[in-house]
């Protein structure tokens, strides 16, 4: 019984570490994309959207339970920057793009998960 308990504790520790690593990555990449988008010579909206879309999708795929958080951390910085410095309210649409892509990544995770996959992650999350 001790071995099972020890294994569950190690999995929980791994999940906490994974969450915080993804949290920092999401926030850092969102800030980097916002900084890049605010540069005077950067005028490529398509690339900015592609970066937001790709990052949020990968993070949503990595930890689907927190897709909403990855979308916010990844996509909130461009609207904040544009609201504070330029009073442009239309950039709120970036959050919609981030939410769509994060939940698309979470859906891909559920669709492409192997049938015989272990439900350890699901059980560990429910234990909290």
Give pLDDT, residue 43: 79
Mean pLDDT for all residues in the chain: 81
How confident is the model over 21-74, as pLDDT tens digits?
A: 899 999 999 999 999 988 888 778 889 899 999 999 999 999 999 999 999 999
Give the separation between CA 6 and CA 22, rounded to whole angstroms: 24
**What's the first-to-final CA gap in the chain, in angstroms?**
20
Work out the angle between the directed axes of helices 120-127 and 2-37 (0-180°, nearest 10).
90
pLDDT-derived band at 115, boundaries 50, 70, 90: low
Number of compact structural domains in the chain: 1
CB atoms within 10 A of CB 74: 35
Q: Cβ(74)–Cβ(29) under 8 Å?
A: yes
Percent of the chain at pLDDT > 70 equals 77
Asked if residue 109 lies in contact with residue 121, where contact means CB atoms within 8 angstroms, the answer is no
99: closest CA among 68, 76, 78?
A: 68
| Residue-range definition of the domain harbouring residue 82 | 2-127
């Amino acid at each position: 019984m001790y071995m099972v308990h020890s294994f569950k504790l190690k999995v929980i520790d791994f999940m906490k570490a994974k969450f915080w690593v993804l949290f920092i990555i999401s926030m850092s990449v969102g800030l980097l994309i916002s900084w890049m988008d605010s540069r005077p010579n950067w005028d490529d909206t398509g690339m900015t959207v592609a970066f937001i879309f790709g990052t949020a999708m990968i993070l949503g795929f990595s930890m689907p339970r927190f897709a909403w958080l990855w979308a916010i951390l990844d996509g909130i910085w461009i609207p904040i920057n544009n609201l504070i410095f330029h009073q442009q309210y239309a950039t709120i649409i970036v959050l919609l793009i981030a939410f769509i892509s994060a939940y698309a990544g979470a859906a891909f995770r559920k669709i492409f998960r192997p049938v015989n996959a272990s439900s350890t992650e699901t059980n560990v999350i429910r234990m909290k």
